[in-house]
Structure 1
Amino acid sequence: MTEPRPDEPPGPHQPSGSPGSLGDELTRLAALHGVAASYSPSPGRTVTASATAVVAALAALDVDVSTPAAARAALTARERERDERLLPPTVVCWLGPTDDPADGPAGGGGPAVEADAGLPPAALAGLPPGTRLDVETERGETRSWVHGVDGTDRVDRLPPGVHRLTATAPDGRTGQAHLIAAPPRLPTPAGRSYGLLVQLYSLLSHRSWGMGDLGDLAELSSWAGRALGAGFVQVNPLHAAVPGPPADPSPYRPSSRRFPDPVHLRVEAVPEFAYAEDRVRLRPLLERAGRLRAAVLDAGALIDRDAVWELKREALELVRRVPLGPGRRAAYADFLAEQGRALEDHATWYALAEVHGSDWSRWPEGLRDPRSAETARARAALADRVDFHSWLAWLTDAQLTDAQRTAREAGMGIGIVHDLAVGVHPGGADAWAQRDHFAAGMSVGAPPDAFNARGQDWGLPPWRPDRLAASGYAPFRRLLRALFRYAGALRIDHVMGLFRLWWIPRGLPPTEGTYVRYDAEAMLAVLVLEASRAGAVVIGEDLGTVEPGVRETLDRRGVLGTSVLWFERDWEGSGRPLPPERWRADCLATATTHDLPSTAARLTGEHVELRHRLGLLTRPLEEERAEAAADVGEWLALLAELGLLRGTDDGASSEEAGIQAVHRFLLRTPARMIGLWLPDTVGDRRPQNLPGTWDQYPNWRLPVADAEGRPVTLEDLAASPRLHALTDVLRTDARAAPGDTG
């Protein structure tokens, strides 16, 4: 979901007006439910939201505004509920003070912080004096006090966690709320480090089955940590995909974010593989795997995820016939018990999808409800397939955990950085299992801006903020806890979604959407709580248009930002490239991302030529070339001025010298984390994803390749002089104080 930061406001094609043009009652009702009646795409400019979108968003929140009378009744009811309730559904309490988070290493964990905690005044504003407050903690302990007595509302040594708060007013009224008690800030990475960024499927080794797998991830992490001095490896989302064929190759539109995809399994690393007796059937599968690998590496074929999964599924069906030993059986039983109903639902969806297809909205009506009697009967009838998919989740979880352990044992301070997609497929497992938490008939996207006058529709159903709050953010907590099982850090795609999301009524264009606000304080409290418990770092992808105050709020809670070199300009002043000393420190700084041109393509102008070949340019080719060349020229001039653009006497091409200079520049910034896009190490010209394309370009299906487009294996990378020359720059200077490199 990467979007460039705009340097100009959106065009004048959007209607402007005051919120009152939607009607005062509708505007007030929308505000009470977090639905925006207007928004500001740029300073000093207000745009009225689509009335259709506002009405649809309210309807998705079960608010009846079908007639003026219904809207008035809904407004009266909402205002009465707000005035009469003692507590909101969820209350946040930031614990403090704490030790300096920079004192401990990232990922190392530590004891839970306990401290005096004050409940926020806003949450208690409606409580009459003398109200009794009782907190039942996660540990089953009870803390009690009386509101307003001695002018204080403090809890004695409240532990971190999600607790139950009960208020009893003097007149006998009661109210309950979830109380999220979180440390005030996330742990900060110790020192500074550099790491590799890679789309895992694109990194093949000579042991891969046609796409990169978790064995390759462990191998890459061990090599990068031990031989290159890297502190982390960041990968694409490894969430479970919607099964095909054809499967959607995008890792950002998964079936489930809670559980990983078994297509990433290294089949030979499953312990039972060595004891599989049906070698007659396994041997041809291994031969087919070799042919799949050779097709990509030697014949120029695209990565075929469907073919890879079909092959692995057949092999895993054979491996599953091997009985688990007593220890392995006990570990599997523990996993099933720990994951509980969430895993059962997940595996049930996949078992049902094998019979009825991968869109639950098209299933027989009784099966569309995960809690129906029909679903229970189907689950029992498909018990073996449910167990198969549960077993796959266990195997994948184990290999992910092993990859993180391998990274840390290789000396990485952080290890594997996993990626959390912004949402899930509307027909997938999460949308089925958690259907009550998703807004029916709505899709997430982005409003029109300077780079996309039509806006964007990502085809992802949004979470309902009211249901999240009522549950104490249970789905979000469980999701984060699952990911932090095997992550040293987590990148959150479109982190601005913790604050608000652009909701689009299904079937309408993105221009007909509106923002719906979430309780960002509660979402952040859950994030800080779960990441702190895991000792993990959090990186927020905050590129694109960001409303005022969001970056500052994220920074205050210890969420690192994302800074991409080509977008770091003095947007409010000269517009020139931002000098390194003016970059923010608490960020992951990179030269590019998975859906931007590679650095080699940027320096050579190949990205413009690619868009021209695909017919994607909106201006004459010469204008696009001139603008791209001017942009690069300004950066190269700054690099030369700083003494970072060195000669090519060592045999490096001018393009290689430019890529090295770009990364020397990143080291001049105060950024805590420096990311190196792995394809940049070998001069790959092709983006992994070209936004705005579908069948015109092979998004998410390209292997890492060199400047001539020849696929490069993990073994080739380890022996690449070009890679070592670039990583030597980072390895030598990454630990130096910002500004000391030269």
Structure 2
Amino acid sequence: MAAAPEEHPAEDLARLAELHGVATSYRPAPDRTVQVSASAVAAALAALGVDATGPDAVRTALAARERELRERLLPPTVVQWSGAEPATALTALPALAALPAGTRLRVETEDGEERAWEERAGEEGVLAADLPLGVHRLTATAPDGRTGEACLVVAPDRLPAPPGRSYGLLVQLYSLLSRRSWGMGDLGDLAELAGWAGHTAGAGFVQVNPLHAAVPGAPTDPSPYRPSSRRFPDPVHLRIEDIPEFAHVEDRERLSALLERAGRLRAAVLDKGALIDRDAVWELKREALEQVLAVPLGPGRQAAYDAFRAAHGRALDDHATWCALAEVHGSDWHRWPDGLRDPRSAATARARSALADRVEFHARLAWLTDGQLRAAQRAAREAGMPVGIVHDLAVGVHPAGADAWAQQDVFAAGMSVGAPPDAFNARGQDWGLPPWRPDRLAATGHAPYRDLLRALFRYAGALRIDHVMGLFRLWWVPQGSPPTDGTYVHYDAEAMLALLSLEATRAGAVVIGEDLGTVEPGVRETLQRRGVLGTSVLWFERDWEGDGRPLPPERWRADCLATATTHDLPPTAARLTGDHVDLRDRLGLLTRSAAEERAEASADAAEWLALLGSLGLLDSPAAGPPGSDEEEEIRAVHRFLLRTPARLIGVWLPDGLGDRRPQNLPGTWDEYPNWRLPVADSDGRPVPLEELVASPRLRALLDVLRPDVLRPAVLRPPGAGPTTRR
């Protein structure tokens, strides 16, 4: 247990925390500073392997850390931004400027090329501009014999920018059922939607929820933001019939029976109003995949699979081994037999050998899913989409899952990621996700993070990073403590951004950061400077430093994805009609009277509609309250988004049908069917993909955003007459 606050010498503890990147205070607002409890600081330090349980321990740890920093020649990671002008000597970088004169440096590039020189005072040495992009190894040898090694990241100064201005669709893939899917949306549905949206509607991208591998359970946690693994995708998204070996399954009668059961599962959702049952879908697909994977691969397919296994190496072996062990011992590795809790133990090696068939099965599933993900991106690009599929990177992983088991050495034991108290949640938040240790990440050259990015960029035209502020700092909550008793722990943001820039550039992919909520000063500016797009949601865009009124379009930032809503917020129809207040009232989630909440929601919507009207964006402003003509008002909202300079504009797909139900209602668990709702119309009737693309309401909304009207924003003063629009 961490010591009580009064037992610590405050100044020593604060200094020790600072040297390990642990915050002792934070600022939830520019004019307010909150002190963190000493127990939270001590707990965070303990998770970093630092003993701060009493005054003597603090002094000893502080002396050791100061000595370590004083004696080391190189920090764990050195970043050189390529394109920075003027070109300088490598040793002129701030991280290396204090090297003693005469230090010998050697760079081994990631391609194995070696460069060595001696740095003398007043001489340039090797110019950083001479080094290729990549992750290299830098070695320093001082005149007194001390040596040091560092990971040298040479990265593009900015990430790739979107190729022009475009709009796209935002959808939770599981909710997008077609008449061919097996009870939830799949990768075949994603490819179909992308093909239609690109060819017919002129969309530039489709953004989906995280498709990471889930932790199996009874029932499985339906949230896509608590995955088992972020590196490998979930095979529940496979379109079984699109696997080449499907056509060669011998037991056609058994396969036909499975297809009939899948049809009943699909009909239950689309025709009878049942919730999406991920576990039932997976049970059917797993049974079908057992048969499909029994078909031998042809020579070309076998070679492709072998190449995939070689490329992913031990990470894939670990993931497939965890999946195989979970089938035998359950999905929480903390409860497995002692020897199996260690992925490197002899017991695990023996189990991997004994379960070789199941390990092979799960490795093949990862390959098949990767292939269909890449096929969806190809379909999007072939349909003319300049970006294609935007994938979502969750902020962390489930503590019981495959990544937490395989990478125990880089996760902070006893800690969970969350958020401090703020204006929206006075109790703070605990997301139940173990954080990466920044010191262990740095010691590996951020290898787990690099491997994760490379895996996702294989099939992503763009990557949305959930809670992108986590590249800078995360709120660590000790297990068993309330979220209020946490603290921020900082990461090497420059290294994280440099690796992101490097991998995105190599993939030619755009990066979007979800930067909603409380953001540390300077973070948005740094992200913008490096080319990471932000996220701007209409209802939150107000002049918070002025009169609090809706922010006019010309004052929105350009480097962002602009949307009307997200999966965690009410759909636009619900926002305009006040249905979101009624929903929260029915579930007992309101903290004020329903009348007060409705009055505030109505005033908020009316204020936005007044601005839309003043800009001439409403064809015929309704005489009644907000929502009186919701279809026209929703179109006007998106005309407004067009008026902003935003590089990307996102349309929440359910908004095109009038769906009033959020996909996720924060603060609920069993009270609301989070992550289990199919896309529906204004009456709550599920709409399959085949009907969705023919919807006059959806087409009328997308006509507002077609490429012939999607041009750089032409801003007009308030009160000017209406523009010509579709």
* Aligned residue in 2 for 1:168: 141
TM-score by length of 2: 0.96
**Residue deviations 1:189-214 (CA, integer Å, cap 9, x gap):** 12100000000000000001000000
Which of 20, 25, 36 matches 1:49?
36
TM alignment of 1:459-474, pairs within 5 A: 459-474=432-447
- Check conservation: 1:194, 1:674, Cα contact below 8 A: yes
Q: Cα offset for 1:683? A: 0.2
Aligned to 2:647: 672
Tell me the CA shift for residue 251 of structure 1.
0.1
Aligned identity (percent) is 77
The reply to whether residue 211 of structure 1 matches residue 184 of structure 2 is yes
Check if 1:145 corresponds to 2:120: no
- Tell me if 1:711 matches 2:683: no
Scaled by the length of structure 1, what TM-score is found?
Answer: 0.93
Q: Report SS of the residue matched to 1:525.
A: helix
Structure 2 residue matching 1:163: 3-state secondary structure: strand
2:528 is equivalent to residue 555 of structure 1: yes
Deviation for aligned residue 1:21: 8.5
1:428 counterpart residue number: 401
2:695 pairs with 1:723: no
Determine the structure 2 residue equivalent to 1:111. none
Instruction: Tell me the residue number matched to 1:103.
Output: none
Contact 2:170 2:653 in 1 (8 A): yes
| CA shift in 2, pair 1:617/1:436, >3 Å | same
- For the structure 1 residues 37 and 565, does the alpha-carbon distance in structure 2 shift closer, same or farther, using more than 3 Å as the test? same
2:154 is paired with a residue whose SS is: strand
The 2-side partners of 1:21 and 1:348 are apart by 44
Q: Determine which of 678, 692, 697 is the counterpart of 2:667.
A: 692
Aligned with 2:236 (options 246, 263, 270) = 263
Look up the equivalent residue of 2:714 and give its one-letter code: G
CA contact (8 A) 1:360 1:432 kept: yes
Q: 1:242 aligns with which of 195, 203, 215?
A: 215
Indicate how the Cα distance of structure 1 residues 593 and 606 shifts in structure 2: closer, same or farther if over 3 A, else same.
Answer: same
- 8 A contact 1:186–1:532 mirrored in 2: yes
Query: Any residues of structure 2 matched to 1:99-498 within 5 Å, and which?
Result: 118=90, 121-152=93-124, 154-155=127-128, 157-498=130-471
Deviates more, 1:163-172 or 1:580-589: 163-172
1:302, 1:668 → 2: CA distance?
38
Structure 1, 134-143 or 426-435: larger mean CA deviation: 134-143
Question: How big is the shift at 1:244?
Answer: 1.6
- Would you say 1:59 and 2:32 are equivalent positions? no
Match of residue 505, structure 2, among 507, 529, 532: 532
What is the deviation of 1:43?
1.3
C-alpha contact (below 8 Å) 2:91/2:97 kept by paired residues: no
Alignment deviations for residues 298-347 of structure 1 (CA, whole Å, 9 cap, x no partner): 11100000000000000000111111111111111111111100000000
The 2-side partners of 1:22 and 1:564 are apart by: 45
Task: Give 3-state SS (helix, strand or coil) of 1:178's partner.
Answer: strand
Deviation at 1:44, TM superposition (A): 2.6
Aligned equivalent of 2:487: 514
Pair 1:656-2:631 in alignment: yes
Are 1:22 and 1:37, in contact at CA under 8 Å, matched by a contact in 2? no
Q: How far apart in 2 are the matches of 1:140 and 1:117?
A: 21
Q: How far did residue 117 of structure 1 move?
A: 6.8
CA contact (8 A) 2:82 2:129 kept: no
1:185–1:528 CA contact under 8 A, matched in 2 = yes
Aligned counterpart, 1:81: 68
Q: Which residue of 2 aligns with 1:96?
A: 83
- Give me the whole-angstrom Cα distance separating, in 2, the residues matched to 1:307 and 1:653: 40
- Provide closer, same or farther for how the CA distance between residues 175 and 690 of structure 1 changes in structure 2, counting only shifts above 3 A: same
Provide the residue aligned with 1:618 in structure 2.
591
Q: Which amino acid aligns with 2:501?
A: V
Which structure 2 segments of 5+ residues have no match?
716-722
Within 2, Cα distance between the matches of 1:381 and 1:126?
Answer: 54
Report the more deviating stretch, 20-29 or 393-402.
20-29
Is the 1:95–1:117 Cα contact (8 Å) retained in structure 2? no
Q: Is the 8 A contact 2:409 2:440 kept in 1?
A: yes
Match among 48, 55, 62 for residue 68 of structure 1: 55
Q: Deviations over 1:535-570 (max 9, x none)?
A: 000000000011110000000000000000000000
Deviation, 1:365, is 1.0
Q: 1:653 to 1:448 in 2, by over 3 A?
A: closer
Contact 1:19 1:27 in 2 (8 A): no
- For 1:190 and 1:272, locate their aligned partners in 2 and report how far apart those are by CA, in whole Å: 37
RMSD: 1.7
Greater mean alpha carbon deviation, residues 725-734 or residues 552-561: 725-734
* Cα drift, residue 149 of structure 1: 3.9
Taking the aligned partners of 2:89 and 2:322, their CA distance within structure 1 comes to 42
| Per-residue Cα deviation, 1:654-699 (whole angstroms, up to 9, x for no partner) | 1000000000000000000000000000000000000000010000
Partners of 1:222 and 1:258 in 2: CA distance: 26
- 2:548 aligns with 575
**Amino acid corresponding to residue 65 of structure 2 in structure 1:** R
| Mapped contact 1:133–1:145 kept (Cα < 8 A) | yes
| Residue 632 to residue 322, structure 1, CA distance change in 2 (3 Å) | same
- AA aligned to 1:584 is R
Contact 1:116/1:158, CA 8 A, preserved across alignment:
no
3-state DSSP of counterpart to 2:180: coil
More deviation, 138-147/696-705: 138-147
Contact 1:200 1:217 in 2 (8 A): yes
1:736 corresponding residue in structure 2: 711
- Checking the alignment, whether the CA contact within 8 Å between 2:642 and 2:710 is kept in structure 1 is no
Aligned length: 708
**C-alpha distance in 2, partners of 1:148/1:643?**
67
1:147 CA displacement: 2.7
Where does residue 27 of structure 2 map in the other structure?
A: 40
Q: Distance in 2 between matches of 1:734 and 1:85?
A: 58
Distance 1:40 1:420, change over 3 A: same
Q: Give deviations 1:143-190, integer Å, cap 9, x for gaps.
A: 223334434353351001110001111111111101011010011112
Amino acid across the alignment from 2:656: T
CA offset at residue 426 of structure 1?
0.3
Q: Is the 8 A contact 1:684 1:707 kept in 2?
A: yes
1:681 aligns with 2:668: no
Matched, 1:633 2:606: yes
2: CA distance, partners of 1:661 / 1:139: 53
Q: Which amino acid aligns with 1:359?
A: D
Asked if 1 retains the 8 angstrom alpha-carbon contact of 2:173 and 2:186, the reply is yes
User: Match for residue 718 of structure 2?
Assistant: none
Task: Give distance in 1, aligned partners of 2:168 and 2:574.
Answer: 21
Greater shift, 133-142 or 549-558, is seen at 133-142
CA distance in 2, matches of 1:511, 1:169: 46
Matched residues in 2 for 1:477 and 1:609: separation?
45
Q: Is the 8 A contact 2:80 2:128 kept in 1?
A: no
